[in-house]
Structure 1
Amino acid sequence: MSGSAGGQGVPGAWLAQSPKPGRIAAYLGLAALGALVGVAGSLVQGAWFPGGLVLALLATTGLFYGSLRATGTQLGVLAPAVGWLLAIVLLSIGRPEGDGVFSAGVGPLVFMLGGMALAVMCATMSRPARPGGGSGRLGK
């Protein structure tokens, strides 16, 4: 194996490097976008059942898959998934007066569990091939 500068080509070498400000800003933006999609999906899935539920899950899928394609990393899926999950959990807690965004029923449950399953599926998908990349085999 070749010892290239900066640990390029070594699995996990990015963990030892200091994070770049642009990448941090992108992940924070994706987390905020995840929270926005979570709030919008929570409102839509309850308002227009079952079509709103399908629309909310499609938007969630688009966010998670789009962030995977945009960043090319599993962390790119994790950032919006954390924002999405925080938003829907905070909305599902309700208030002491008994008010809450989520109603009792199967719709909110399918939205929460389906969204989490979509995040896991997108995070475990194979990453897109890099242009100009080699064969992917070590030592070649």
Structure 2
Amino acid sequence: MSVVRDGRGGAGAGGGATGEGLWALGWARGLCYVGLGLLGVLVGAAGVLVQAAWLPLGLVLGLLGSVGVFWGGSQVTRNKVGAVAPATGWFLAVFGLAMARPEGDLLLGAGVGAYVYLFGGLMCAVICATLALPAPLAPRPKSR
């Protein structure tokens, strides 16, 4: 296996020098994505509860919290996966809470506020995941 070196002395897209492949991204980045996914679950569940409790203001608060997590995740990780990870957790939480339980309980009932939260959150997730991010800052050369 040939190793392609970039200008910074690291391995290029061909993988690490030891053939690590996808593991070359690092465990810290993976933990960040898992944390963002769990944060998305929490924000989605809190949004379901808040939008039903305080209908006009709670709906706006739930959607703003969702946008904050999606956009913040993409800014922290500087890539689009940072927005997709919390959006996945949000989606799983909201749709999990929208399903009827055997007792007949629903947390996300059929109403205008619930539908606006559901489709508005999905639309915000797609927008935050597809927006073009600015290029990362190039490292400055060291002055002598």
| Both proteins in one fold, TM over 0.5 | yes
Q: Tell me which residue corresponds to 2:39.
A: 33
Aligned residues of 1:78 and 1:123 also touching (Cα < 8 A): yes
Q: Tell me which residue corresponds to 2:22.
A: 17
C-alpha distance in structure 2 between counterparts of 1:41 and 1:79, whole Å = 17
Letter in 2 for 1:20: G
Q: Tell me which residue corresponds to 1:137.
A: none
C-alpha distance in structure 2 between counterparts of 1:30 and 1:128, whole Å = 21
Specify which structure has the bigger relative contact order, considering alpha-carbon pairs within 8 angstroms and separated by 6 or more residues. 1
C-alpha distance in structure 1 between counterparts of 2:29 and 2:114, whole Å = 33
1:65-105 CA distance string (max 9 Å, x none): 11111001111111101100000111000211211101221
Larger radius of gyration: 2
Letter in 2 for 1:102: L
- Number of aligned residues: 129
Q: Which runs of 5+ in 1 are unaligned?
A: 134-140
Aligned residues of 2:78 and 2:136 also touching (Cα < 8 A): no
C-alpha distance in structure 1 between counterparts of 2:62 and 2:100, whole Å = 20
Q: Identity, % of aligned pairs? A: 44
Deviation at 1:3? 5.7
C-alpha distance in structure 1 between counterparts of 2:54 and 2:113, whole Å = 10
The equivalences for 1:33-112 within 5 A come to: 33-112=39-118
C-alpha distance in structure 2 between counterparts of 1:104 and 1:131, whole Å = 46
Q: Tell me which residue corresponds to 2:129.
A: 123
Query: Which structure 1 residue ranges, 4+ long, deviate > 6 Å from structure 2?
Result: none
Q: Tell me which residue corresponds to 2:142.
A: none
RMSD of aligned alpha carbons: 2.2
Aligned residues of 1:69 and 1:128 also touching (Cα < 8 A): no
C-alpha distance in structure 1 between counterparts of 2:46 and 2:35, whole Å = 16
Q: Which runs of 5+ in 2 are unaligned?
A: 16-20, 140-144
Q: TM-score, normalised by structure 1?
A: 0.84
